[in-house]
Amino acid sequence: MAAPHQRLLILTDGSLGVFDSKTATCLLRYRPGDVVGVLDRGHAGKTAADVLGVPSHAPIVATMEEGLALRPDALVIGIAPPGGALPAHWRAMISQALERGVSVLSGLHVFLADDPGYAALAEISGASIVDYRRPPEGQPIAHRDALKTRARRVLTVGTDCNIGKMVAAVELDKSARGRGLSSRFLATGQTGMLISGSGLTLDRIPGDFMAGFIEQMVVENGDADLVIVEGQGCILHPAFSGVTMALLHGSLPDAMILVHHAARQIMRSQTLSLPPLADWVRRYEDAVAPLHPGKVTGIAINPYGLTEAEASDALRRAEDETGLPAVDVVKDGADRLLEGVLN
Amino acid sequence: MAAPHQRLLILTDGSLGVFDSKTATCLLRYRPGDVVGVLDRGHAGKTAADVLGVPSHAPIVATMEEGLALRPDALVIGIAPPGGALPAHWRAMISQALERGVSVLSGLHVFLADDPGYAALAEISGASIVDYRRPPEGQPIAHRDALKTRARRVLTVGTDCNIGKMVAAVELDKSARGRGLSSRFLATGQTGMLISGSGLTLDRIPGDFMAGFIEQMVVENGDADLVIVEGQGCILHPAFSGVTMALLHGSLPDAMILVHHAARQIMRSQTLSLPPLADWVRRYEDAVAPLHPGKVTGIAINPYGLTEAEASDALRRAEDETGLPAVDVVKDGADRLLEGVLN
């Protein structure tokens, strides 16, 4: 997982430590050595470790001037702006970075490279602007070609959106590498791309080509021992089930890890009660069965919002309900899940 | 189903009567009074009825000059160019139409209105260029709002792509109107849009917003007695299952009609054997069940490639296997299917 930029300054602008500052938190957790600082007025003077408990002592600074003094090679847009439009003071900060030759990495829906002002600044200073959400070129149609890979194929799936499917995939990749296996984490969202330096953001790809792009990426990495595809959405989410289905049929996993946020009874931003875990297992296996007999081989429990006792209880119940190993991967790593994936 | 253009000249360029000239065939079948001619060198001198057995006596002509003499108000691009790029002689024909003030209606992947040459000709003559595949504006997220419609919601689903889901929906709409119900056929592909004059083409919409756009369209038409949504893809098609899932969860149908091409044993352009009909029924119902208890209420059998005896046999077998009414809607209309939809 080598990325072209290795001195990152993360812009979080006051939202650090909030549940939704996922991009910042994940970068600090999985690329701690590559983050030189965080730009966040709310916590200036502390370190990332102080605020988030992540293994990074990157300083938190209040101004772009202080941030640039840390000699970053890239500014990462670490949060989504409220409402979608870029606040004016972000515009000034992004321009300031580009003027000084610092590249800008963005997963925003709006493409920064298409802004003539930014483009001109980047042109002059030699900085680059990377928009992770820009759809790749081409119109590939999936044909079950994923079945031809040498690699064992793994996909993380979930009982909702935004519950840790990316984290489970990254942890599984880490466990596999720790065992000496050649493993590839294949990112399908902007945070995963920031962590791994490659991949694609599925949510901007037209419906007909989603599975085809996933298949293409899996096949290109099929010479490894393991490919671990970052899941998206959820097979029962009214808005995002289409993306999930494309991931299932594009990657045709041998093994799936079911990710569940134990404190959640109701689907986020929906009024839908969640079915029992065993039903999720059946659903995901049934969705791929006629194309490939993939199995759910383990459960990743996200304990956010639970006490330690409640979390232990949730893990035990998940194992009882499904007969599969259940793990808090952030706390305990994914070694136990890897066992199931490899057998 | 009123469309703004009502004197259509269809360009099929030698492919009329081939299975894939679906757009031309469907327009001739469902808007016979609105087609003034067909431009197809291969069958010049005959009529549409002669070649396709459709209820249209539109003349088939060999040249654009003859076509324009029929005083069309729009040229419909009735086939997809082989390989995706526009052949040079089409370019000349399209330009000739636009010069003479004849609008151009296209469902091609390439957007004709973005071509400066065509745009300039249209500007001068006052003709319009309609690209049905252009994605609509907005980024709607589905929230199960379809459940709020007064209308009973119907979706056609299938055992493969390109087997008659649009035809089944149009026939059902016709049956409902024949009964005096207010019914809306909601197109989700370019041929359906050409027939109805509205709708959207789902296959170019980014994954995250597919279900949202369907929901929006269903809600906008929710004051009718019946909304009948044109299905796309197939829940087990490796490339297009994502689109199908988005349709299921965006429209949350009360009733589904399962469309099956009886002569097909293997999924088109795939090497996948088709499961039995009863398994398809179970799959489609299971996919929506936790969000809404929609049921498959009938089977539409496409008898293409079968003898009359084989077709009768296929209908009988479908009824035996599923316990549901099975109908050849092109031959017998959809009245029997409507019964199941309304109960």
Q: Could you give the ipTM of this predicted complex?
A: 0.90
Say how many CB pairs under 8 Å bridge A and B: 132
* Fold agreement (A8-131, A145-342): yes
Q: Of B205, B249, B266, which to mutate for an interface test with A (greatest number of A Cβ within 10 Å)? A: B249
Task: Evaluate whether B195 touches B34 at the Cβ level (below 8 Å).
Answer: no
**Is A183's pLDDT higher than 50?**
yes
**What global pTM score does this model have?**
0.92
Residue A200 near residue A193 (C-beta atoms within 8 A):
yes
DSSP state at residue B184: E
Distance from CA of B138 to the nearest CA of A (A): 12
- Give the chain B residue whose CA is nearest to the CA of A252: B238
Q: Which two tokens stand for residue A113?
A: 């490279």
Tokens of A238: 């009214």
- When CB atoms are compared, the residue of B206, B212, B283 closest to A205 is B206
In this structure, are residues A324 and A340 in contact, taking their beta carbons and an 8 Å threshold? yes
**What's the mean per-residue pLDDT of chain A?**
93
What span, in angstroms and rounded, lies between the C-alpha atoms of A232 and B124?
Answer: 48
Whether residues A239 and B283 touch (CB distance < 8 A) is answered with no
User: Closest approach of chain A CAs to the CA of B208, in angstroms?
Assistant: 5
Distance of CA B71 to the CA centre of its chain: 26
Chain B interface includes A290 (CB < 8 A): yes
Cβ within 8 Å, pair B250-A238: yes
Length of chain A: 343
**CA of A48 vs chain B CAs: smallest distance (Å):** 32
* C-beta atoms of A215 and B207 within 8 A: no
Please tell me the distance in Å from B21's CA to the nearest CA on chain A. Answer: 20
| pLDDT band at residue A1 using 50, 70 and 90 as cut-offs | very low
Say how many CA atoms lie within 13 Å of A184 toward its Cβ: 23
Could you give the percent of chain A with pLDDT greater than 90?
Answer: 77
Please give the CATH superfamily to which domain A145-342 belongs.
P-loop containing nucleotide triphosphate hydrolases (3.40.50.300)
Tell me the per-residue pLDDT of B227-257, one tens digit each, with 9 for 90 and over.
999 999 999 999 999 999 999 999 999 999 9
Give ∠ CA B108-B109-B112 in degrees, rounded to 5: 65
pLDDT digits (tens, 9 = 90+) for B3-62: 678 999 999 987 787 656 788 888 999 999 999 999 998 899 999 999 888 889 999 999
Tell if the CB–CB gap between B290 and A272 is shorter than 8 Å.
yes
Domain assignments of chain B as residue spans, ordered by start? 8-131, 145-342
Which of A63-77, A129-143, B81-95 has the least mean pLDDT?
Answer: B81-95
Query: CB of B207 within 8 Å of any CB in chain A?
Result: yes
CA-wise closest residue to A271 among B142, B221, B287: B142
Closest to B207 in 3D by CA, of A252, A211, A256: A211
Question: How far, in Å, CA of B94 to CA of A203, rounded?
Answer: 35
Please tell me what DSSP assigns to residue B17.
Answer: T
How many whole angstroms separate alpha carbon A120 and alpha carbon A105? 16
Q: What is the DSSP string of B208-240?
A: GGHHHHHHHHHHHTTTSSEEEEPP-S-TT-TTT
Cβ contact (<8 Å) for A270 and B144? yes
Residue B276, token pair as written in the block: 């039995």
| A268 in contact with chain B, both atoms CB, cutoff 8 A | no
- Token reading at A216: 């293409």
Q: Measuring CA to CA, how many Å separate B160 from each of A300, B235, B237, B239?
A: 34, 8, 7, 11
Report d(CA B283, CA A274) in Å as an integer. 19
Instruction: List chain B residues with CB under 8 Å of A248.
Output: 241
Task: Give the residue on A whose Cα is nearest the Cα of B267.
Answer: A143
Q: Is B236 an interface residue toward A (CB < 8 Å)? A: yes
How close B9 gets to chain A, by Cα (Å)? 29
CATH number of A8-131: 3.40.50.720
Q: Whose CA is closest to A97, among A65, A140, A120, A52?
A: A65
Nearest CB among A144, A207, A275 relative to B238 is that of A144
pLDDT score at A83: 60
SS (H, E, C) A204-225: HCEHHHHHHHHHHHHHHCCCCC
Distance, CA of B237 to CA of A254 (rounded, Å): 18
Distance, CA of A303 to CA of B297 (rounded, Å): 42
Nearest-by-Cβ selection for B272 from A240, A270, A290: A290
Distances (CA, A) of A122 to A74, A102, A111, A113: 12, 9, 14, 9
Whole-number Å distance between alpha carbons of A239 and B247: 10
> Which tokens sit at A298?
């383990």
pLDDT classification of A3: cutoffs 50, 70, 90? low
pLDDT range class, residue A14, cuts 50, 70, 90: confident
Residues of B in contact with A236 (CB under 8 A): 290-291
The residue ranges of chain B whose pLDDT is under 50 are 1-2
Find which of B133, B241, B267, B284 to mutate to test the A interface (most A CBs within 10 Å of its CB): B241
The B8-11 sheet, strands edge to edge = B60-61, B35-39, B8-11, B74-77, B103-106, B129-131
**Residue A162's closest CA among A86, A249, A79, A269?**
A269
Sorting pLDDT into bands at 50, 70 and 90, what band is A54? confident
- Match 């970068």 to its residue by tokens: A27
Using CB atoms within 10 A of its CB, is residue B308 exposed (0-12), middle (13-18) or buried (19+)? exposed
B162 touches chain A (CB under 8 A): no
Whether A92 shows a pLDDT value over 50: the answer reads yes
pLDDT digits (tens, 9 = 90+) for A252-282: 999 999 999 998 878 776 777 889 999 999 9
Q: pLDDT by residue (tens digit) across A147-176?
A: 999 999 999 999 999 899 999 999 999 999
